[in-house]
């Protein structure tokens, strides 16, 4: 059985969640992975979850880094595999496509989706909020940062 290369998209988490933040990566190009192996930790505005390898194979490219905000459907992982059940994901793109996903700043500070949601629920505007410490991946404002900020203000 011949191997082929697949392009694995950023997963969709439902109708209301179309962005995910990369919290951490557990593999790198050149690594062999097995189906179900944890390869990344991602965060939506609702939860943090493990992203697992869709098949046994070798990581060809992982064009994302911790702290990046990714849109659902964009390229997440390029994997060489022999799993014919994933033939529909066979790569048709080139190297330029691998750098197409970029972090999207949301103003002076970059916020994780969860942090944005918590701030808005507290009546704060993330685009104009100053004085909050950003300790999340890649210097982003995390949900914990918002919780700590609100505690200092005496809110919730």
What pTM did the predictor assign?
0.58
Instruction: Determine the pLDDT at residue 15.
Output: 66
**The two three-digit tokens of residue 153, written as one number:** 């203000």
Helix (H, G, I), strand (E, B) or coil at 117: helix
The domains of the chain are located at 4-99, 113-153
Number of Cβ atoms within 10 Å of the Cβ of 72: 16
Q: At what angle do helices 113-121 and 143-153 cross, to 10 degrees?
A: 30
Chunked mean pLDDT (size 10), the chain, 156 residues: 86 73 90 94 84 92 86 86 90 51 48 85 79 77 87 75
Q: Which CATH architecture has domain 113-153?
A: Irregular (4.10)
Q: How far is the C-alpha of 66 from the C-alpha of 52, rounded, in Å?
A: 16
Instruction: Determine the pLDDT at residue 52.
Output: 92
Question: Phi and psi at residue 89, in whole multiples of 5°?
Answer: -95, 10
Task: Please check whether residue 11 is in contact with residue 51, taking contact to mean a CB–CB distance below 8 angstroms.
Answer: yes
Instruction: Determine the pLDDT at residue 99.
Output: 37
Query: What's the CATH number for 4-99?
Result: 2.40.50.100
């Amino acid at each position: 059985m011949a191997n082929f290369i697949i392009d694995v998209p950023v997963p969709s988490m439902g109708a209301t969640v179309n962005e995910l933040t990369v919290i951490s990566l557990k593999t790198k190009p050149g690594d062999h992975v097995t189906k179900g192996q944890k390869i990344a930790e991602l965060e939506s505005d609702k939860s943090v979850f493990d992203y697992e390898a869709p098949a046994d194979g070798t990581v060809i490219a992982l064009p994302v880094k911790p702290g990046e905000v990714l849109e659902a459907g964009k390229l997440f992982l390029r994997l060489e595999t022999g799993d014919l059940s994933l033939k529909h994901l066979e790569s048709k793109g080139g190297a330029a496509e691998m750098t197409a996903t970029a972090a999207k700043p949301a103003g002076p500070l970059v916020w994780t989706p969860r942090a944005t949601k918590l701030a808005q629920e507290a009546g704060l505007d993330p685009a104009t909020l100053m004085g909050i410490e950003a300790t999340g991946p890649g210097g982003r404002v995390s949900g914990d940062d918002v919780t700590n900020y609100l505690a200092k203000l005496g809110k919730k």
